[in-house]
Structure 1
Amino acid sequence: MCDTILAPPGSTAGEAMLYGKNSDRQRNEAQAIERLPSGSHEVNASLKCTYIAIPQVSRTNAVLLCRPFWMWGAEMGANEHGVVIGNQAVHARNPAQEAEALLGDDLVRLGLERASSAAEAVEVITRLLERFGQGGNNGHITRSYFNNAFMIADATDAFVLETLGREWLLERVSGVRAMSNRYSIQDRVERVSPGLPALLRDSGWSSDAQPRYADVIANPNREHIGHATARRQCSTSLLNLHDGGLTALGMMRILRDHGTGEGHVAGWQAECAIRRTVCMHAGPENSPGQTTGSMVSDVRSGRAIHWVTGSAAPCTSIFKPVLLDVPLPDSGPAPSDRFDAATLWWRHERLHRAALLGDFNQFLADIADERDALERDFDERIKSVMAGGSNADRAHVVAQCWQEAMAVEARWLTRIPAAATPIDAAYVEGWDKLNRVAGLELSAS
């Protein structure tokens, strides 16, 4: 489950293309933050993706990836040309392919590595989809099969691409736009794949009528899973609330929403793990999904600033800046699904899970002002150094921001208040069981 939000120039302060995504996956599925350089490759070279090998191209772009630890592909990322892509699961009436092919995450990374614009990324992804298909297990502990939807953007263009097997449909985005885990393109279609009309007719759509594509394609029996419609309505209302003046900091607030519809993180309770919110936390054993990583991108002509948490739960995380032309600061070794205090992801997860088993709302209230002030300060420092600093200056500021953020989160671990009332036993057991699987020892404060 994932939520993606976008605000194009005209909807934003400073005419930026703003892109944000929460990557929602299973709770021990750590996510690595990687910055990979551009590369040249031999003729006829082969590229091993998560499950299958495909032909490599002669040159690949420098990329920023937010990648589930066990996959080749990425949930979201950006490249040196200011292209940003993320994907999410969507469920069709026709079952998703279980045979191994390209995963949606593979297609995200391939689009970033091979395209120099959003429009070109659409072509890269659709050609690969038609040639190699999509399929295979997407889950970490629990197996999961689904089709994929993508939000693809650069400084001037943005697209929603939704897929069904090897078929697809495309919408060019003209205003604020939100996506969740449900097909969303209805009649604002720019193009469809050649085989899509026949596939829809086989599913019962009459070609004599103008299709509302999402209604025809979506599996109505999966609508309740993840409460995708409610999450999309919430993020859309927040985008509309600030339309015309949206900023990167405002996009971060939306990704932290716990269902208030006002961009506030307070008001969370254990029932939210069942109902599901834009900022998602796991709960009982049958609610294993949570936001495992978040990213916001501010893309303009000639420059892009990306903000990543490198950790789960944006409400308890600090967004940190990344620039594609300077090194990624050291945050420890790449994480796995086992607790390792040397990694940023698991250090923060120790904080996040301890807070969930304490007085979570009080903890959020205690840290919110410091968290938001620090991000405002980071934003001002990055904008200042982008305006006139050298490459070395930019690298220094980025590294400082990461060091300060990690130091603050380490201090927060000592400030978690005890739960004011008893916590539901099934909720506690859901966390305890997966903590034991990960080798993380925690007790309620």
Structure 2
Amino acid sequence: MCDTFVVVRPDAVLFGKNSDRDANEAQRLDWVAAAEHADGATLRCTWTTIPQVRRTHALLLSRPYWMWGAEMGANEHGVVIGNEAVFTRARHERQGGLLGMDLLRLGLERGATAEEAASVISELVAKHGQGGRAGYDDPSFRYHNSFLVADGREAFVVETAGREHVRERVTAGVRAISNGLTIEPFAEEHADPIVGAVAGCAVRRARVTKLAEEALGPADVAAVLRDHGPGHDDPSYHPLNGAMRAPCMHAGGLVASSQTVASWISQLSPGSALHFATGTAAPCLSAFKPVALDRPLDLGAPTGVADATSAWWRFEALHRRAIGDPAAAAKLRRARDAWEGWDARDPIEAWRDWGAFVAEQRLALGPRRDLRPGYVRRYWAARARDAAAAVPKLPAWS
């Protein structure tokens, strides 16, 4: 599950996304150089191979470690895309097919404007279809996709069901997608309302839209992505789906479960693009740090098994210590708020300082307490056992 939104204002376009996936499904930030390709070249995506184009743009991606595609990212031309699962009555490809994350990356590689990137996605959906394993914990998990594509002038929503697709231009105001089809009559024709209800699509989309109406800059976007719902500083759990009814998701449901494992913010205007990423789970406790296409960082190579070297897993140890104790979480949020800034800090310095901050906060935590419901504690105990395994459930993409 995910929440993605844009705010199109006269002076700028704001973009925000929470990537909600399985709890141990680490994401990595990848920098990809622009490239020229030979005539007739092919491209291996996650589960299928397609024809390559002559030139691909430089990218900055937030990518689940095991797949070729990405959950969100930007290209050298200031185009930003986020995708989301949507649940429809259309069939999946029997063989191969593109993941939504593959389509997102292809849109960024091949589109120099939001409109071009949206067209790339639509054309590839129609030509190659969607399919292949899309889940980390559940090998049978499949879904179709929606996309929010933005540049410094406008945005587009692209919604799909199998090889069918529809597109909507956004030139002003707030537009949010939260795992549900929204463009009529396409939505009525294709959406699966039962799965949409379990995923809390309409509730989350309404909450995001309401909060985003007041967003003027990146700090306001961060506040939306950190929201746990009306009146809740901490996650509010339900046995059915954990804390899935607000933008900042926390896993632990008995039927459905999803965890915000990475988050992204962009502020776009013609000729200018500022990007911020957590590079971690749990934006409610983590900080957004600046990232830039021309400032690559070595943040380690996380997988589904815990390690002591990657930025994602170093923070994850802190997150899992603090999230079950409201007092510890509040203390960490206060320290984070004092550390976080939205100025033009050099990305390399900011991420180095963040590493030191995480180490300090781990030492500052008191005795561990977990006050969450028993079913949530049991869920996370199982994830901890998986994270301590010798090998992850899926190998790293190579």
Superposition TM-score, scaled by structure 2 size: 0.92
CA-CA distance at 1:320 after TM superposition:
0.8
CA-CA distance at 1:363 after TM superposition:
2.4
> Contact conserved, 1:162 with 1:169, CA < 8 A, in 2?
yes
Is residue 121 of structure 2 the alignment partner of residue 125 of structure 1? yes
CA-CA distance at 1:269 after TM superposition:
3.8
> Contact conserved, 1:284 with 1:429, CA < 8 A, in 2?
no
Match of 1:215 among 188, 192, 208: 188
State the one-letter code of the partner of 1:156.
R
Quickly say closer, same or farther: Cα 1:287–1:416, change in 2 above 3 A. farther
C-alpha distance in 1, partners of 2:56/2:89? 36
CA-CA distance at 1:343 after TM superposition:
0.6
Match of 2:165 among 162, 168, 193: 168
Match of 1:25 among 7, 21, 45: 21
CA-CA distance at 1:420 after TM superposition:
6.7
Quickly say closer, same or farther: Cα 1:318–1:422, change in 2 above 3 A. closer
1:356-390 superposed Cα distances (whole Å, 9 cap, x missing partner): 33x1x2223212233223322xx2234xxxxxxxx
CA-CA distance at 1:310 after TM superposition:
0.7
> Contact conserved, 2:244 with 2:258, CA < 8 A, in 1?
no
Match of 2:313 among 346, 349, 354: 346
Match of 2:274 among 305, 317, 333: 305
State the one-letter code of the partner of 1:354.
R
State the one-letter code of the partner of 2:57.
N
Residues 394-433 of structure 1 aligned to structure 2 (within 5 Å): 397-418=346-367, 422-433=371-382
Quickly say closer, same or farther: Cα 1:294–1:100, change in 2 above 3 A. same
Quickly say closer, same or farther: Cα 1:270–1:220, change in 2 above 3 A. closer
What's the counterpart of residue 336 of structure 1? Answer: 303
What's the counterpart of residue 276 of structure 1? Answer: 245
Shifted more, 339-348 versus 269-278: the winner is: 269-278
C-alpha distance in 1, partners of 2:179/2:83? 10
What's the counterpart of residue 337 of structure 2? Answer: 372
User: SS in structure 2 opposite 1:233?
Assistant: helix
C-alpha distance in 1, partners of 2:95/2:202? 29
C-alpha distance in 1, partners of 2:41/2:90? 35
> Contact conserved, 2:244 with 2:257, CA < 8 A, in 1?
no
What's the counterpart of residue 394 of structure 2? Answer: none
C-alpha distance in 1, partners of 2:255/2:364? 30
Quickly say closer, same or farther: Cα 1:100–1:306, change in 2 above 3 A. same
C-alpha distance in 2, partners of 1:324/1:151? 20
User: SS in structure 2 opposite 1:66?
Assistant: strand
What's the counterpart of residue 141 of structure 2? Answer: 144
Higher helix share: 1
> Contact conserved, 1:121 with 1:152, CA < 8 A, in 2?
yes
CA-CA distance at 1:7 after TM superposition:
0.6
What's the counterpart of residue 6 of structure 2? Answer: 6
C-alpha distance in 1, partners of 2:32/2:353? 24
* Count of residue correspondences: 386
Q: Percent identity?
A: 42
Is residue 52 of structure 2 the alignment partner of residue 85 of structure 1? no
User: SS in structure 1 opposite 2:354?
Assistant: helix
State the one-letter code of the partner of 1:402.
W
What's the counterpart of residue 323 of structure 1? Answer: 292
CA-CA distance at 1:255 after TM superposition:
0.3
Shifted more, 411-420 versus 85-94: the winner is: 411-420
| Structure 2 portions without partners, runs of 5+ | 390-398
Match of 2:261 among 289, 292, 297: 292
User: SS in structure 2 opposite 1:335?
Assistant: coil
C-alpha distance in 1, partners of 2:255/2:64? 21
User: SS in structure 1 opposite 2:287?
Assistant: coil
1:159-213 superposed Cα distances (whole Å, 9 cap, x missing partner): 0000111111111113211110110113xxxxxxxxxxxxxxxxxxxxxxxxx33
C-alpha distance in 2, partners of 1:56/1:118? 20
Quickly say closer, same or farther: Cα 1:335–1:98, change in 2 above 3 A. farther
> Contact conserved, 1:184 with 1:214, CA < 8 A, in 2?
yes
What's the counterpart of residue 207 of structure 2? Answer: 234
1:269-298 superposed Cα distances (whole Å, 9 cap, x missing partner): 444825532101111554431011100011
CA-CA distance at 1:415 after TM superposition:
3.3
C-alpha distance in 1, partners of 2:179/2:43? 29
Bigger CA radius of gyration: 1
What's the counterpart of residue 255 of structure 1? Answer: 225
1:317-361 superposed Cα distances (whole Å, 9 cap, x missing partner): 111111112x222222x111111110111111111111133x1x2
C-alpha distance in 2, partners of 1:6/1:363? 32
What's the counterpart of residue 156 of structure 1? Answer: 153
| Structure 1 portions without partners, runs of 5+ | 187-211, 383-396, 441-445
> Contact conserved, 1:27 with 1:282, CA < 8 A, in 2?
yes
What's the counterpart of residue 392 of structure 2? Answer: none
Is residue 355 of structure 2 the alignment partner of residue 355 of structure 1? no
Quickly say closer, same or farther: Cα 1:129–1:269, change in 2 above 3 A. closer
C-alpha distance in 2, partners of 1:285/1:32? 28
User: SS in structure 2 opposite 1:402?
Assistant: helix
What's the counterpart of residue 246 of structure 1? Answer: 216
C-alpha distance in 2, partners of 1:429/1:78? 37
CA-CA distance at 1:307 after TM superposition:
0.4
